[in-house]
């Protein structure tokens, strides 16, 4: 059993921890640095093969490290991509990055649906062309789930203009132009909630 040394004047708790680190697996060392040593003596169990006997003056307190938030976001695979049979290739990008598809439907948007979905852009000069494009062929609407899914989805998609998109992103790989840029993704938690509800009932989303 490894003995945790006592600290003396001028010796920090971190330095004391470092002295018994070498023989302890990396995961245990990581946990130790996330905690603090306080008073109490007993054998520390549950750390694999590295049992640590603590003298009466020490106890290891473990603090949980912050975790990322599991989110859901709406994804649309646009007509230019479905026309070229790219649904599988695009979804592979999402899944390879750790996102899961928890709801999915292939549909033909009506003009009314397109106008409702893109109502936020109604005063923009590209609004009519956008609605016409989104109703020009089938789309795949789907819900993606994962840690920080909203930001991660947008990183995977790349910039709106494929000329500005980073290498390896969906739009750099597959988009034809700014309008026919293959994918749509929610840009905020609030919009993700609204956009998911636009296409799916809660009972249709299976996590």
Catalytic residue positions, numbered: 184
For the chain, list the strands marked E by DSSP.
Answer: 2-3, 36-38, 43-44, 52-53, 59-61, 70-77, 100-107, 139-147, 183-185
Tell me the β-bridge partners of 139: 107
Rounded to whole angstroms, the Cα distance separating 92 from 119 reads 30
Question: Measuring CA to CA, which residue among 66, 69, 71, 84 is closest to residue 153?
Answer: 71
Start-to-end CA span in the chain (Å) = 44
């Amino acid at each position: 059993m490894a003995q945790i040394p006592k600290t003396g004047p001028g010796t920090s708790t971190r330095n004391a921890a470092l002295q018994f680190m070498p023989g302890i697996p990396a995961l245990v060392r990581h946990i130790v640095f996330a905690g603090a040593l306080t008073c109490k003596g007993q054998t520390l169990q549950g750390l694999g093969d590295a049992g640590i006997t603590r003298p009466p003056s020490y106890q290891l307190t473990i603090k949980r490290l912050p975790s990322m938030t599991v989110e859901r976001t709406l994804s649309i695979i646009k007509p230019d991509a479905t026309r070229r049979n790219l649904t599988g290739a695009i979804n592979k990008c999402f899944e390879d990055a750790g996102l899961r598809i928890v709801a999915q439907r292939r549909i033909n948007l009506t003009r009314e649906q397109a106008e409702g979905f893109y109502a936020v852009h109604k005063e923009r000069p590209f609004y009519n062309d956008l609605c016409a494009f989104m109703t020009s062929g089938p789309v795949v609407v789907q819900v993606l789930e994962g840690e920080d899914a909203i930001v991660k989805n947008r990183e995977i998609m790349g910039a709106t203009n494929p000329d500005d998109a980073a290498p390896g992103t969906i739009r750099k790989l597959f988009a034809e132009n700014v309008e026919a840029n293959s994918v749509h993704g929610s840009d905020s938690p609030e919009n993700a909630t609204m956009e998911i509800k636009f296409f799916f009932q809660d009972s249709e989303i299976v996590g």
